[in-house]
Amino acid sequence: MGCVGLSVGIGNVWRFPYLAYQNGGGAFLIPYLIMLTLAGKPMYFMELAFGQFGGTGPLTIWNCAPIAKGVGAAMIAV
């Protein structure tokens, strides 16, 4: 529960209604929820699993697979 609280933060709670209103209301919510379900949540749970089982951060854990070298930096950027 603490991870979710730190991830969301109070700034996002206040900013989301403003962004939804500025970008079309319901027309903004449908693509937002789809992308949250397809990309956001799996990436969040993958990062939590890496931290728990790997014991390292995203930059270090992805160095074990040279083909996925930039994935750790992308996870931090997103």
Tell me if 2 is assigned to a ligand binding site: no
Residue 12 labelled as part of a binding site? yes
Burial of 18-44, coded b for 16+ CB within 10 Å and e otherwise, reads eeeeeeeeeeeeeeeeeeeeeeeeeeb
Q: Is residue 23 annotated as involved in ligand binding?
A: no
Residue numbers belonging to the annotated binding site for Na(+): 5, 8, 12
Residue numbers belonging to the annotated binding site: 5, 8, 12
